[in-house]
Amino acid sequence: MSELTRRSFLKTTTAAGLASLPAARVLATPSSEDPLGIRGQFPVTNEMAYLNTASVGPLSRTAHNALAAYADEKMLHRNPASRRIAKAGARAKFARLFGADEDEIAFLYSSSDGENIVVNAIDWKAGDNIVLDELHFATSFVLYRDLEKRSGVQLRIVPSNGGQARVEDFERMTDARTRLLSVAWVSNRNGFRYDLPSLSELAHANGAYLYADGIQALGTFSTNLHDEGVDFACGNGYKWLFADFGCAPMYIRREHLEWMRPDRHGHGQVAEALPNHRFRLKTTAEKFEHANIAYGPITAMDAALDLLIEVGLDRIENHTTELAGQLFNGVKELGLNLFTPPGTQSSIVSFYHGLDSTTLSSELAAAKVPVTFQEKGELLRSAVAMFNNQSDVDQLLGVLSKLV
């Protein structure tokens, strides 16, 4: 998808009859220290070299101010309609930014909710199978192991090969009884980025669906969900969208909306009240919003998407993948064992540091370089976001170079 400018976005939303969007914010003039002119939006950059967005992304001033305004509104009850406006705005912005239609987007509480909805909608038969790989997030294994026990389906786990799971590896485990392929679009473990169109072609050729956990992907590169061929994808606001916990946008390809049934029910699904306590229910993806949604996180999402639109996903991708590549090369030059495969186009760089994890953690804390340790402290995962710069990367490499 070409870079979505704020001007073109305003035209499309105005044509759709949406409420007026806030006036455009002016980003700082780009510089070597601030390549995207965005660091002023993230006060965390004044405190530390924050390389941990793959865990939790910091709030921008934009999202913070929107949340503060929401809290004021709720405290004083001045404009209750603002909640509905934020919900409509966030849905429209997310759909256009990521190449979907508004009626294909639901706002859930967590990305785990999304995969549970998909699994509970499929009519499983004993002997069916699900194919996923070992780079996936823990939620999927918990979900499918339970499904294995109660439905007699088989879980097939593709082993990683050099830190990646290739399409041909999935192909060897996929057959006519495969109902679902499930991947983490970008792996939370090492940043490996999957080729969704190829996996979609494989799944559909065998009569299966493709689910993508997009929590480490959405907001890090330009994409079009229709073109990706994925059937279902779900993310959340608290990482690379720089919003908050509790707002998980889920994409459901339109062709599946008719057969997919919600796994829980409530007043949020009502489109029209009919006589005798009967109802006409919603048929869009909103039917999965069975109850009141979290309006605070929705408000943060609405504002955070404005910021992503203004910066541009293409610019974010180019900046972060370049920085991640420099970090990758720096770690390699130090002789450390990289878990992220070469050529990975994502914002995550993971490696086995081979050092005393307590000492390394202490040194990083002293240098104010937040990262994530995994696998009992042996694996270090770093994440480069749009507000990071070369100095942040150098601070991490500097700590490592003192200890290796």
The CATH number covering residue 259 comes to 3.40.640.10
**How confident is the model at residue 79, as a pLDDT?**
76
Q: Alpha-carbon distance 201 to 209, whole Å? A: 10
Query: For residue 144, what are the CA distances in angstroms to 105, 153, 181?
Result: 24, 9, 12
Cβ pair 248, 301 in contact under 8 A = no
Whether residue 29 is contained in a domain is answered as no
Looking at the structure, do residues 326 and 200 belong to the same domain, yes or no?
no
**How confident is the model at residue 19, as a pLDDT?**
38
The DSSP output letter for 186 is: B
**How confident is the model at residue 25, as a pLDDT?**
55
Given 286, 307, 328, which residue is the final one in a domain?
307
Whether residue 353 is contained in a domain is answered as yes
Looking at the structure, do residues 114 and 240 belong to the same domain, yes or no?
yes
Structure tokens of 176?
């006519």
Given 263, 280, 307, which residue is the final one in a domain?
307
Whether residue 246 is contained in a domain is answered as yes
pTM above 0.85, yes or no: yes
Q: Which residues contact 82 (CB under 8 A, 6 or more apart)?
A: 70, 73, 299
Whether residue 45 is contained in a domain is answered as no
**Residue type (1 letter), 83:** R
Q: Alpha-carbon distance 251 to 106, whole Å? A: 7
Nearest to 374 by CA among 348, 394, 398, 402: 348
Looking at the structure, do residues 157 and 190 belong to the same domain, yes or no?
yes
State the CATH number of the domain containing residue 355.
Answer: 3.90.1150.10
Nearest to 195 by CA among 181, 206, 176, 177: 181
Whether residue 55 is contained in a domain is answered as no
Q: Alpha-carbon distance 104 to 55, whole Å? A: 27
The DSSP output letter for 306 is: H
Question: In the chain, how long is the greatest CA-to-CA distance?
Answer: 74
**Residue type (1 letter), 366:** A
Looking at the structure, do residues 389 and 242 belong to the same domain, yes or no?
no
Q: Alpha-carbon distance 257 to 326, whole Å? A: 43
Expressed as residue numbers, the domain containing 357 is 314-403
Burial 304-341 (b: 16+ CB within 10 A, else e): bbbbbbbbbbebbbebbbebbbbbbebbeeeebebbbb
Looking at the structure, do residues 145 and 227 belong to the same domain, yes or no?
yes
Ranges of residues in the chain with a pLDDT under 50 are 1-24
Cβ pair 295, 301 in contact under 8 A = no
Looking at the structure, do residues 175 and 283 belong to the same domain, yes or no?
yes
Question: Which secondary-structure segment (H or E) carries 271?
Answer: strand 270-274
**How confident is the model at residue 18, as a pLDDT?**
37
Looking at the structure, do residues 129 and 227 belong to the same domain, yes or no?
yes
Q: Alpha-carbon distance 50 to 60, whole Å? A: 13
Whether residue 394 is contained in a domain is answered as yes
Q: Alpha-carbon distance 126 to 342, whole Å? A: 40
Question: Which secondary-structure segment (H or E) carries 390?
Answer: helix 390-403
Report the number of distinct structural domains present in the chain.
Answer: 2
Cβ pair 246, 104 in contact under 8 A = no
Structure tokens of 364?
């990083």
Given 307, 328, 351, which residue is the final one in a domain?
307
**How confident is the model at residue 78, as a pLDDT?**
79
